[in-house]
Amino acid sequence: MALVGNPNVGKTSLFNKLCGLNQKTGNYPGVTIDKKRGNFTHENIPFELLDLPGINSLYPNSKDEELVVNYLLNEQGDELPDLILVVVSALNIKRNLYLLDQLRDLDLPVVLAINMCDLAEKRGIKIDEKLLREEFGVEVVKVSARSDQGLKELKDLLLKAHSVNEREPGYIEADNRDLLHQFSKIIHCKNEYRSFLQLTQDLEINQKEEFSKLKKEFIESNKIEVRKWKINESILRYKLIGNIIKKSVVTDKSAADDFTTKADKLLLHPVFGYVFFLLILFSIFQSVFWLAAFPMDMIDAGFSALSGFVADALPSGYFSDLITQGLIPGIGGVVIFVPQIAILFLMFPYWKRADTCPYCLSD
């Protein structure tokens, strides 16, 4: 089973809640898939869960997005998950459902978990999960990884066998469907959306020369405007999702002023934003000195004690001076900076994590 979803929807929190592990969130490029496996059992049935980096869509924009997309589209199939648990945030459901809609067209068994439902209710967002179930044809469950709400329902749902029915491709204009059908036949791909994705972008999984040649010929001979296909996909999907949201999600706007909005106002302020940025940098800088002072004193004392000891042990002369006044203080002078450097480097990952902007198109 694989966990898939947009960045920042609480995939790892849910993963931790299900597996009872304290798995660290990792959003660094090149993190391998194997590192984030977890297990749990429910009603005596063992599950293996894979926590994948967040993706915005099936058009990867960074290394870790590419990793997920290549994984989901791999043709071998033996590595494919039996089930994809798509996690979306109730707070930003329209955009999150875009990915679900794409995954839905891959005809892989999908279960949709709507996370952060408790927060959404507080902010006056009401979601009709039954309607979503009917519209997308997948099982839907509301959860909150924070308050454990809905976790049992989710696990019960995972016990059931899931199959997904093929549906009409809503991501392509009717005029182009024949072309896509032809292309699928040429590359022997059963799933048309999979071939759509392969046609409209260059993926690592089909770097083979014959494939590229085949694709190029197909695109040129049929005068396909790949970018237009992609843009039309977005428009068509959002139209569909917009209609579904209209029916199934009600937002009470009066409750919309929340902590994040207020914090953003201050942190993203044209002047204060920079002030906060400098404050954070300054506090990192200060804490490096402050935290490192203690081990530095110890190292300093240690090296002077060592050179004192050696001076006493050796007969006085050039050799003794070389060691006690040259070698030992020399090495000590370098080693003394190790704590500062170590602490600075230990802080970098946290800085980097805080740095991945939840609002940006790419990092």
Partner 1 sequence: MRLTDFEVKKKGVITEIVDSPVAGKLMEFGILPGATFTVLNKASFNGPIFIQVGANRVMLRRDEASAIIVE
By CB under 8 A, residue 8 contacts partner 1: no
> For residues 237 and 102, is the Cβ–Cβ distance under 8 A?
yes
Burial class (CB in 10 A: 0-12, 13-18, 19+), 71: middle
By CB under 8 A, residue 248 contacts partner 1: no
By CB under 8 A, residue 269 contacts partner 1: yes
By CB under 8 A, residue 361 contacts partner 1: yes
By CB under 8 A, residue 331 contacts partner 1: no
Q: Could you give the CA distance from residue 335 to residue 80 in angstroms, rounded to a whole number?
A: 49
Which residue stretch of 23-31, 153-161, 268-276, 325-333 sits at the interface with partner 1 (rule: CB under 8 A)?
Answer: 268-276
Tokens of 38: 């977890």
Q: Which of 45, 159, 250, 268 is close enough to bind partner 1 by CB under 8 A?
A: 268
Q: Toward partner 1, which CB reaches closer, 58 or 158?
A: 58
By CB under 8 A, residue 173 contacts partner 1: no
Rg (CA), the chain: 28
By CB under 8 A, residue 230 contacts partner 1: yes
By CB under 8 A, residue 263 contacts partner 1: no
Which residue stretch of 91-99, 175-183, 185-193, 324-332 sits at the interface with partner 1 (rule: CB under 8 A)?
Answer: 91-99
Q: What angle do CA 102, 360, 170 make, to 5 degrees?
A: 20
CB of 291 to partner 1, least distance (A): 32
HSE, side-chain direction, 13 A CA sphere, residue 6: 27
Strand partners for 51: 3
DSSP conformation letters of 8-51: TS-HHHHHHHHH---PPP---TT--GGGGEEEEEETTEEEEEEE
By CB under 8 A, residue 59 contacts partner 1: yes
CB of 91 to partner 1, least distance (A): 7
Binding site for partner 1 (CB under 8 A): 56-57, 59, 61, 91-95, 98, 227, 230-231, 234-235, 238, 251, 264, 268-271, 273-274, 357, 359-362
